[in-house]
C-alpha cells in the first residue's frame, strides 16, 4: 500500500517552498489562475523523497508508514523535476533532494522578508547582491573561449552552480562548502535588474540544454577530467561559436547592470596570453 501524503501535508510542502518548484535550479511558479474564476492551475507535485511503497525510488524499509507520509519525507516540485528525481535515484539521492529543499525554503523566506522590508531597502543592498553575482561569474566557464583542445573547468557543473547561486544566493565549491552567501535574484528591489537576471538565467539554461544535446549528438567530445579541468573538442565549429556568443550575451547583459551599479564589469572573453608566445 502506498503511504500517500495527506492534503494537509501537501499544503505544508508547497507553502514552505513558496509555491515554487523546490529544485534550486528551477524555482518555477507552480500555481496560476484558471480561466474559470473558481479554479486554479497547478503544475506542482508533492514528491516523496523515499518512495511511498516498496520498489519505488529511494525506498527505505527502516521507515515507518507515518514517517513516509510525513512532511519531512516530501518535497514540492514541478512535474518535470518530480519525474526527474524518480528517473535516476543514484544521482538524486536523499541527501541531494533534502539539500534542494533546504536551499529553496531559504529562498522562499528571503522572498517573503523582501516584501515586508522593501520600503527601507535601498540600492546598497542591491549592489551587494550584484557584487555577489559578479563573484559567481568570475570563473573560467564564463571567461575562457572554447578552443579546440583547450582546457576549462567542468563546464556544465559550473553553469549549473551559477544558476543555483543566482536563484538562491548561495555559491558552493566542488566539495559542497559554501564559498559565498548572499541573496538570490528575487531579492533585488530594482525591477529592471531582476528582469535582466531572469533573462540571464534563461540564457544559462539554454546553454546547458544545448551542451547536453551536443554531447548526445556527438558534436562535442569531453576529454578526461583532471582536478576539475576538462578538455573540450568541438567537431562543429559553428556550435563552438554559438557557445562563445551566447555566453558573451549573458556576460554583456550582466555588465550593463554592473555599469549601472558602479561596479567593475565583466569582459568576455577574458584577454589571455597566446600559447604561441
Chain residues in the site for Zn ion (CB under 5 A): 21, 23, 26, 78, 81
Query: Where does residue 205 rank: exposed (0-12), middle (13-18), buried (19+ CB within 10 A)?
Result: middle
Nearest distance from C-beta of residue 21 to Zn ion, angstroms = 3
CB nearer to Zn ion: pick between 25 and 162? 25
Helix or strand (DSSP H, E) at 110: helix 94-117
Grid cell, residue 43, equals: 503544475
Nearest distance from C-beta of residue 20 to Zn ion, angstroms = 8
Query: Where does residue 87 rank: exposed (0-12), middle (13-18), buried (19+ CB within 10 A)?
Result: exposed
φ, ψ of residue 129 to 5 degrees: the values are -70, -40
Could you tell me how far CA 209 lies from the centroid of its own chain? 13
CB nearer to Zn ion: pick between 30 and 73? 30
Q: Are 110 and 189 in contact (CB under 8 A)?
A: no
Nearest distance from C-beta of residue 205 to Zn ion, angstroms = 11
CB nearer to Zn ion: pick between 26 and 204? 26
Q: Are 76 and 151 in contact (CB under 8 A)?
A: no
CA pair distance 271, 277, nearest whole angstrom = 14
Nearest CA to 127 out of 189, 77, 37 is that of 189
Nearest distance from C-beta of residue 175 to Zn ion, angstroms = 25
Nearest distance from C-beta of residue 19 to Zn ion, angstroms = 12
CB nearer to Zn ion: pick between 100 and 183? 100
Nearest distance from C-beta of residue 196 to Zn ion, angstroms = 22
Amino acid at each position: 500500500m502506498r503511504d500517500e501524503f495527506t492534503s494537509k501535508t501537501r499544503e505544508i510542502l508547497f507553502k514552505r517552498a513558496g509555491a515554487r518548484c523546490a529544485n534550486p535550479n528551477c524555482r518555477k511558479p507552480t500555481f496560476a489562475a484558471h480561466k474559470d474564476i473558481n479554479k486554479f492551475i497547478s503544475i506542482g507535485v508533492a514528491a516523496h523523497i523515499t518512495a511511498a511503497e516498496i520498489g519505488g525510488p529511494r525506498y527505505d524499509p527502516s521507515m515507518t508508514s507515518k514517517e513516509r507520509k510525513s512532511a519531512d519525507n516530501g518535497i514540492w516540485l514541478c512535474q518535470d523535476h518530480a519525474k526527474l528525481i524518480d528517473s535516476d535515484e543514484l544521482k538524486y539521492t536523499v541527501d541531494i533532494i533534502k539539500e534542494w529543499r533546504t536551499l529553496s525554503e531559504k529562498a522562499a523566506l528571503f522572498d517573503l522578508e523582501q516584501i515586508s522590508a522593501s520600503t527601507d531597502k535601498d540600492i546598497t543592498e542591491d549592489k551587494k547582491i550584484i557584487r555577489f553575482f559578479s563573484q559567481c561569474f568570475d570563473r573560467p566557464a564564463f571567461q575562457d573561449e572554447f578552443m579546440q583542445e583547450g582546457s576549462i573547468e567542468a563546464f556544465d557543473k559550473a553553469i549549473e552552480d551559477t544558476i543555483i547561486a543566482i536563484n538562491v544566493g548561495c555559491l558552493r565549491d566542488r566539495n559542497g562548502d559554501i564559498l559565498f552567501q548572499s541573496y538570490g535574484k528575487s531579492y533585488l528591489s530594482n525591477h529592471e535588474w531582476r528582469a535582466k537576471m531572469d533573462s540571464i538565467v534563461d540564457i544559462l539554461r539554454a546553454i546547458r540544454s544545448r551542451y547536453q544535446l551536443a554531447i548526445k549528438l556527438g558534436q562535442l567530445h569531453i576529454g578526461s577530467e583532471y582536478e576539475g579541468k576538462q578538455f573540450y573538442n568541438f567537431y562543429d565549429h559553428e556550435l563552438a561559436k554559438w557557445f562563445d556568443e551566447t555566453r558573451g550575451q549573458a556576460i554583456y547583459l550582466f555588465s550593463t547592470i554592473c555599469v549601472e551599479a558602479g561596479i567593475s564589469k565583466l569582459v568576455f572573453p577574458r584577454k589571455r596570453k597566446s600559447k604561441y608566445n
